[in-house]
Each structure stands twice: as C-alpha cells, then as structure tokens.
Structure 1
Amino acid sequence: MRFSIIIPTLNEAAGIEACLLALQALRADCELVVVDGGSVDGTVKLAMPLADKVLVSKPGRARQMNHGAGHATGEVLVFLHADTYLPAQALELVAAHLDGIHQWGRFDVRLTGPHVMLKVIACMMNWRSRWTGIATGDQVIFATRGAFVAAGAYPDIALMEDIAFSKALKKISKPACLKAKASSSGRRWERHGVLQTMVLMWWLRGRFACGADPDKLAALYAKGRLWTCG
C-alpha cells in the first residue's frame, strides 16, 4: 500500500524542518508532499531537501490539500498539519484499519503544551469525534484515494473544511477511529487563551452547522475571539 502524506503550509519556517525530519524514516513507503500557500519566511526553501514534492498553490488549507492530492501518487492520502506529529507505526496502523468497512479515518489527538486544560480538551475532541464520526484536521485525517474522490475532495471553504469533508466521507463508510495519538501543538489555544478558544471553537462549529458563511467565521477564527471590535 503506497501512502502520500500531504502537508499544507503557510509561514511555517519555525517548525517545518522538525515536522519533515520526523517523517524521513517513512519515505520508503510513502511520499512527502508539501503544499505551500505563499509563505514569505523561507518555508519552501527549508522544505525542499526534506520532501519528495514541494508545490505552491493559492492560499487556503482546503485548496492546498486538494492541490497536493492531485499531484500525489499514493493509494492512501494522509493530511498532516505542519505542527502535528504522527504516532509510532502510524502507516502500519492505517493500513491495518483500511478494509471493506473503513475507507477513511483519523487518529486520536493529544495537544502539547503546559496548560492542564489541553489534556481535557483533547479528551473531549477524541470522545466527540468517536461519537459523531466527525474528524478535525488536528486528528490527521486519512482516506483511500477512491474515498477522497467519491467525497468530492475538500470543499473550497475558508474554515471547517475538515468538518465538511468528514461529513461527505461518512456517506461512503464509517471512519476508523484509531486510539493511537497524534501530537498537535497547543500553540493557538495558549496564544488566545485556552478557555476562550474552546468557547470560540464550539460557537464556530455551531454557527457552521446552522449554515453561517465560512468566510465570516474564518475572520473570527483568525482574531481568536467572538467579538470583532478593537
């Protein structure tokens, strides 16, 4: 089974080398595809020696991941954020769980950082995902190429593309919810305040479910708060 790990980036110079170095041992069984959305901090230059393909597309995580999938050669597509690390034996676990019942899935997640609430938030994310069958990008969504195509790829929206993609994939098969934990940075949670970010994310998901404009939700997400004044 051939894998392609697709990593969307935008100004990730501080961490892209560490991200790609952690994946080097997997390159015998997979290709590493970095898709940059217009970084101005040297991300592309740093990624080139450590990836099989470094592509450039218009910015937007969904657009970048779809662009990477279009140039990838793997039978299985793994979508990895630049601040997230795979668990041990990740590809073996994916291969073992993609069967006639499951054509896509995700890992459990742990959020790294000193704040004690990050562990609680990660547990809530994992429980909610297991209950609803919906995955977030931090949980490293993976899918067979056939499922990716059948789901219509990631919708080209500014926010919640992972939620919408999961819902489309659920129509194809149940997700494989792997208990092995991917490690994702809690930097955004800590930057804007853990409790405030938690409330914000709940509110954004609720508004998205009610049909709110993803562009307007993305503006609030970028600010890291519910209010727009100031």
Structure 2
Amino acid sequence: MKVLAAPSATSAPLAVVIPALNEAGHLPALLADLARAPAGLIESCLVVDGGSSDGSARLSALAGARVLQVGGGRGCQLAAGVAHSTAPWLLLLHADLRLAQGWWSAVQRAMAAPEAPWCFRLGIEGADPALRLVEWCVRLRSGPGQLPYGDQGLLLPRRLLERAGGLRALPLMEDLDLVLRLRRLGPIRDLGLPVRVDVRRWRRLGVWGTAWRNARLRQAWRRGADPAVLAARYYQP
C-alpha cells in the first residue's frame, strides 16, 4: 500500500474517508466542499484509491488529501481508510457526492448529540421526475426503514463502529452489511441536509432498470451470494 501524502498532526474530531476509482472528474469538487469546513474540525481527509488510471490519486494529493492506494473494492478501501485515521468521528463518503452549503454545521450538531450514526438525505442530479420518486423512496427506506446506503454518506463515532464489528472488507454491499449491524445498536438519524449524487449510474440502464438490478443484487447478497461475483456484475461495462 502506497501513501502519497502524510497525515497531519491534529486533535480535530473528524476523519473523512473517500474510496475512489477513476473519479478525477468528481473528486476536486467534493474536496473543495470539504475544504470549506471550519479550522479544527477535520483531522484528516483520506482518499483511498483503488488503482485509478485517470490521475485521481495525484489530484487528491494536490488538493491536500492524504492518499492511500488500496485495491479489493470499496469495503477494503473504507476499512483501510478507517484504520489509517485516529479521529473519534468518521465521515464516509462516495467520491461522486457533493455536500450542501453549511454541511459542517449539521455534522457539528450531530457530534455534540448523544453518540449515534447519522446519514445525509439523497439527492440525485438530473431533471427526470423518476429521480424525484427515487429520492422519495430513499427517504422512506432511510427513515422508517432505517436502511441508508453508502451513497448518502455516513457519519458515525469510531467507538460505535467498533461495537458494530467494524467495516468488513467486502468488494460490494459493504454499506448494507454495516448498516444492518449499526441499526441493532440504535436508530440511524437524519442530518437534515442532502448530498447530491452524480446521475451517471442511472443513465446506462435507466432509472427503473438500475433500481431493479440493484434490488436483485441486494437480494442475492442476502441469500449468500459471493460479494466478489456481485461486484463483477455491478461494475460490468
């Protein structure tokens, strides 16, 4: 594993971990959003690169992030990022997200409350009315259903992550695996702000085709399918 930027020595309460693979088109904007946080909030911003060929790692280092190079899929990347940070709170983000203005205030309020996991609300770029329906369904799944996924971002205390058994190094479904364990320890709360997700994942198969494919993958995982096989299906061109 190669580290492209050194960690900073600080007692700030929050470590941000971003798994990435060929995300040069999205990482600069997300890192700029994170850079707007007030001084003293973020201990380290770790971009865990899975072997990008588009300069994602170098761009992240130039933007001031600490960069780790770890293969094996998103779960492996997240686990490595968590292991290479020390802050008491963790913010796990996908690389193609954008954070809302003032996101740090919501995070600071959450960290001042009794310890619990928190998630953002999902917003999807694009004008298709079907995307608004997807967002509404995700609100139901995340609130009453207590099943937010990784593309919403997850804020949680390190101690709570350890109590839940940590992040498992899965190539896919690492977010569902973690959330199912976290919600046994208490409710997952709403930060009250959206993240904005790139629409590309819904373009290739269409909104409903993508939703159907993802539902089938989740069902297969729950039935014991190999996450590596599911990851190959999910990421196939």
| TM-score, reference length from structure 2 | 0.87
Gaps of 5+ in 1: 225-230
Q: Contact 1:38–1:59 at 8 Å: present in 2 too? A: no
Q: Contact 1:113–1:187 at 8 Å: present in 2 too? A: no
Q: Contact 2:26–2:97 at 8 Å: present in 1 too? A: no
Q: Contact 1:11–1:43 at 8 Å: present in 2 too? A: yes
Residue number among 119, 142, 147 corresponding to 2:160 in the alignment? 147
Q: Which amino acid aligns with 1:25?
A: R
Aligned mates of 1:91, 1:167 — CA distance in 2? 26
Residue number among 9, 14, 36 corresponding to 1:3 in the alignment? 14
1:51 Cα deviation after fit: 2.8
Task: Provide the residue aligned with 1:133 in structure 2.
Answer: 146
Q: Contact 2:76–2:171 at 8 Å: present in 1 too? A: no
Gaps of 5+ in 2: 1-11
Task: Provide the residue aligned with 1:186 in structure 2.
Answer: 199
Whether 2:135 is the aligned partner of 1:122: answer yes
Aligned mates of 1:209, 1:94 — CA distance in 2? 31
1:207 Cα deviation after fit: 2.1
Aligned mates of 1:124, 1:145 — CA distance in 2? 29
Aligned mates of 1:196, 1:85 — CA distance in 2? 24
Whether 2:60 is the aligned partner of 1:55: answer no
Q: Which amino acid aligns with 1:113?
A: G
Whether 2:237 is the aligned partner of 1:221: answer no
Task: Provide the residue aligned with 2:25 in structure 1.
Answer: 14
Find the residue that maps to 1:207 and give its secondary structure: helix
Find the residue that maps to 2:100 and give its secondary structure: coil
Find the residue that maps to 1:21 and give its secondary structure: helix
Aligned mates of 1:27, 1:192 — CA distance in 2? 40
Q: Contact 1:7–1:65 at 8 Å: present in 2 too? A: yes
Q: Which amino acid aligns with 1:55?
A: L
| TM-score, reference length from structure 1 | 0.90
Aligned mates of 1:178, 1:16 — CA distance in 2? 22
Aligned mates of 1:11, 1:27 — CA distance in 2? 29
Task: Provide the residue aligned with 1:73 in structure 2.
Answer: 86
Task: Provide the residue aligned with 2:36 in structure 1.
Answer: 25
1:27 Cα deviation after fit: 6.0
1:216 Cα deviation after fit: 2.2
Aligned mates of 1:52, 1:22 — CA distance in 2? 12
Q: Contact 1:9–1:34 at 8 Å: present in 2 too? A: yes
Q: Contact 1:109–1:184 at 8 Å: present in 2 too? A: yes
Aligned in 2, Cα 1:62/1:22: closer, same or farther, shift over 3 Å? same
Number of residues of Structure 1 aligned to a counterpart in Structure 2: 223
Q: Which amino acid aligns with 1:217?
A: L
Aligned mates of 1:50, 1:74 — CA distance in 2? 20
Aligned mates of 1:25, 1:151 — CA distance in 2? 31
Q: Which amino acid aligns with 2:225?
A: A
Aligned mates of 1:194, 1:174 — CA distance in 2? 29
Aligned mates of 2:110, 2:30 — CA distance in 1? 24
Aligned mates of 1:53, 1:222 — CA distance in 2? 26
Q: Which amino acid aligns with 2:25?
A: A
Q: Which amino acid aligns with 2:35?
A: Q
Percent identity over the alignment is 30
